[in-house]
Amino acid sequence: MLYPRSNDKRSVLSLDGIWSFCLDDGSNGGSINNDFISSRREIISVPASYNDQKDDPRFREHYGWAYYERHVTVPAFFSGERLVLRFDAVTHNARVFINGALAGEHKGGFLPFEIELEGIVRAGEDFLLQVAVDNRVSHSTLPVGNEEGMAFFGSDNAGVPSVEAAKRWRKKRNLPNFDFFNYAGINRSVRIYTTPHDYISDITVVPSVNGTSGIVDYTVATAGEGEVSVRILSREGAVVAEGSGASGRLEIADARLWNPWPGDPYLYTLDVTFAGDHYSQRFGVRTVEVRGHQFLINGRPFYFKGFGKHEDSAVHGRGFDLTYDVKDMSLIRWLSANSFRTSHYPYAEEMYDLADEEGVVIIDETPAVGIGAGAAQDPYRTFDIRQHHEDVIRDLIARDKNHPSVVMWSMANEPDTEHFPQSAKDYWCSLYEYTHSLDPQDRPVTFVCCQNNYEADLATREMDVVCINRYYGWYNLSGDLDAACYALSMELDFWQKIGKPLIMTEYGADTLPGYHLTSPEMFSEEFQALYYERINAELDKRDFVVGEHPWNFADFNTIQGVYRADGNRKGLLTRDRRPKLAAHYFRKRWSAIPDFGYKKK
Ligand code: BDP
């Protein structure tokens, strides 16, 4: 799917700004009731989550549908063009109404969807745009929500009679099976864009390297009549290769490869024309491969230094915020990091563009977090999730396939792999094959494994890279770093025998900024720094460990509960991006660790 860009043949109209908004009270079920909406209308900013824009607790606690609306005038000079309405992300489910009629629906809160406006809207005219948004999570959504009555993250005191009785008085609410606040709404930008009626619908670029040449296999999907012409432009704008036809192979002599920063993240552009249409697709020439214990980028063994992140900031919630994205890129460099995982959902497309540009490596994750965790029955047989999971993987790859920064797909975070090991293996191995079959660049595929009985788990070992989240010293063996290191070391002995590269995709300790101790105990800045020093020493002893991603880049908001005071505090940085002691520790450590060749064998 192409990102909407304006150029000599295409225009983009932003619909971001102030919209009207109201929360449902459960009576409208996602259908438009104009009397209901007009009697409750409030202002709301788009893009952003609605939850923290208002100070009435109903917004934060809302469960169910909410309604957005605005009037749109389509410029008269769009006349004669194809018009497309594009939502970058509406969380979690959306129904779009134009002049009161349903024009489109979408399931899933983190990927874009489009609605063709042909025959619905005309250039030069005004229309009413209304969007119904549902924030409910369940066993058939990604991320997963629990059904009432099950254990969940903000845990109730199960089994106490008066607590069970009190639950009957409780109003309906989301019970997320994940540890980040269930921010909802029109979280990313909304636009109308134009193309000619004969148009370029998709571009796929598959780079490879032959000696000093870059080989570029391309495919251009089109609608209508016309001839495809392609040129490859250098970053400086020179034509370095050209050709014609809807697919083909081009060669760039003496190609400059895309390498992670502080190497050279060099980008080329595939400039495509078709009939009266034109689109420029950036790409990088780089290769990715798992060989033995190593993760190779451009044939050299890469070491992942970075974190799991979140799209999370005060007031905006999970709303798109380009300024925070730029700041985070700056902090990634400040820390001498080179990578991050889009935990636990696909991020805004602009972030991947920044990563391409800045030379930051991405592990691109679907929103499949919490599949089966805590389930009494086999989740792989009882939850209706497989089809949606496939749809999300397909759409994620369609969106992100051309980014050189994306080097691996993560199908999920922390599914249950321990209690129903054979079912889990069947599910994850078949989804692994499916993911590989869809990616034109055939990048490595994995999912991120929960702290569990790793001997019982049959699925994690089948992935291209073993990715583990481990909290020895925090949730287990709390505060005892000697025992934590011993337990981790035992576990690493196990994985070493599997013969695959391993990334520690999460490890961490909640830390209150400003809480200092001479004797490092849990929650202090000294404990967090010491915890990382000790665990990293274990990782350093193992050549098959090819990456360290502390959890998390920054503190983030989550559901209230006994484990969380003002959110999850495991950030190296505070939520407003100030460094804790551990950030300074990693900055020093990572500036001494090269991107390539850190592990010797
Ligand atoms: C891991 C989850 C992550 C949580 C983290 C934690 O993958 O989403 O935020 O634990 O507890 O299990 O901090």
CA dihedral for 351, 363, 5, 87, sign (positive or negative): negative
**Phi and psi torsions of 468, nearest 5°:** -125, 140
pTM confidence score: 0.97
Assess whether 158 and 232 both reside in one domain. Answer: no
Evaluate whether residue 295 is within a structural domain. no
| Residue labelled with tokens 């208002």 | 54
**570, 580 in Cβ contact below 8 A?**
no
Model confidence pLDDT, tens digit, residues 565-574 = 999 999 999 9
Q: Measured in angstroms, how far is the CA atom of residue 502 from the centroid of ligand 1?
A: 18
Which residue spans within 4-138 are E strands per DSSP? 12-14, 17-23, 42-46, 65-73, 82-87, 90-91, 93-98, 101-107, 113-116, 126-134
Assess whether 162 and 22 both reside in one domain. Answer: yes
**Of 268, 288, 265, residue with least CA distance to 407:** 288
Number of domains in the chain: 3
What's 78's DSSP letter?
G
Domain boundary at 231, 259, 286, which? 286
Assess whether 269 and 139 both reside in one domain. Answer: no
Evaluate whether residue 326 is within a structural domain. yes
Residue of the nearest CA to atom 11 in ligand 1? 179
Domain CATH for 439: 3.20.20.80
Angle 595-597-600 (CA atoms, 0-180°, nearest 5)? 145
- In this predicted structure, what is the pLDDT of residue 156? 60
Q: State how far the Cα of 309 lies from the Cα of 329, in Å rounded to an integer.
A: 12
Q: Which of 414, 491, 525, 538 does the annotation list as catalytic? A: 414
Name 362's bridge partners: 340, 406
Q: Is residue 116 among the annotated active site residues?
A: no
Evaluate whether residue 103 is within a structural domain. yes
Q: Measured in angstroms, how far is the CA atom of residue 344 from the centroid of ligand 1?
A: 10
Q: Which domain holds residue 76?
A: 12-194
Assess whether 141 and 152 both reside in one domain. Answer: yes
Q: State how far the Cα of 487 lies from the Cα of 477, in Å rounded to an integer.
A: 9
Name 502's bridge partners: 466, 545
Q: Which string of DSSP letters, residue by residue, matches 258-288? A: B--TTS-B--EEEEEEETTEEEEEEE----E
Domain CATH for 179: 2.60.120.260
Q: Is residue 125 among the annotated active site residues?
A: no
Atom of ligand 1 minimally distant from the CA of 568: 13
Give the list of residues 6+ apart from residue 145 with CB closer than 8 angstroms, or none: 136, 137, 138, 139, 174, 175, 176, 177, 182, 370
Assess whether 310 and 367 both reside in one domain. Answer: yes
Q: How many CA atoms lie within 13 A of 212 on its CB side?
A: 2
- In this predicted structure, what is the pLDDT of residue 152? 47
- In this predicted structure, what is the pLDDT of residue 142? 97
Assess whether 387 and 246 both reside in one domain. Answer: no
Residue 506 Cβ inside 6 Å of ligand 1? The answer reads yes
Evaluate whether residue 511 is within a structural domain. yes
**561, 155 in Cβ contact below 8 A?**
yes
Residue 414 Cβ inside 6 Å of ligand 1? The answer reads yes
Evaluate whether residue 294 is within a structural domain. no
The C-alpha R_g of the chain, in whole angstroms, comes to 24
Model confidence pLDDT, tens digit, residues 237-278 = 999 999 999 999 999 999 999 999 999 999 999 999 999 999
Residue 570 Cβ inside 6 Å of ligand 1? The answer reads yes
Evaluate whether residue 2 is within a structural domain. no
Assess whether 224 and 102 both reside in one domain. Answer: no
Domain boundary at 145, 176, 194, which? 194
Assess whether 324 and 471 both reside in one domain. Answer: yes
Average pLDDT, stretch 499-511? 98
**Phi and psi torsions of 240, nearest 5°:** -110, -10
Residue 469: both structure tokens together: 């989240």
Give the list of residues 6+ apart from residue 537 with CB closer than 8 angstroms, or none: 485
Pocket-testing residue among 182, 341, 414, 474, ligand 1, by greatest number of atoms within 8 A of Cβ = 414
Residue 361: both structure tokens together: 């490596």
Assess whether 469 and 583 both reside in one domain. Answer: yes
Going by their DSSP bridges, the two strands 466-469 and 445-449 should be labelled as parallel
Pocket-testing residue among 152, 179, 563, ligand 1, by greatest number of atoms within 8 A of Cβ = 179
Model confidence pLDDT, tens digit, residues 287-301 = 999 999 999 999 999
**435, 409 in Cβ contact below 8 A?**
yes
Model confidence pLDDT, tens digit, residues 144-168 = 998 665 544 555 666 677 777 777 7
Assess whether 316 and 234 both reside in one domain. Answer: no
Domain boundary at 194, 218, 236, which? 194
Residue 175: both structure tokens together: 């019970």
Model confidence pLDDT, tens digit, residues 388-426 = 999 999 999 999 999 999 999 999 999 999 999 999 999
Q: Measured in angstroms, how far is the CA atom of residue 349 from the centroid of ligand 1?
A: 24
- In this predicted structure, what is the pLDDT of residue 563? 87
Domain CATH for 250: 2.60.40.10
Evaluate whether residue 1 is within a structural domain. no
Assess whether 53 and 155 both reside in one domain. Answer: yes
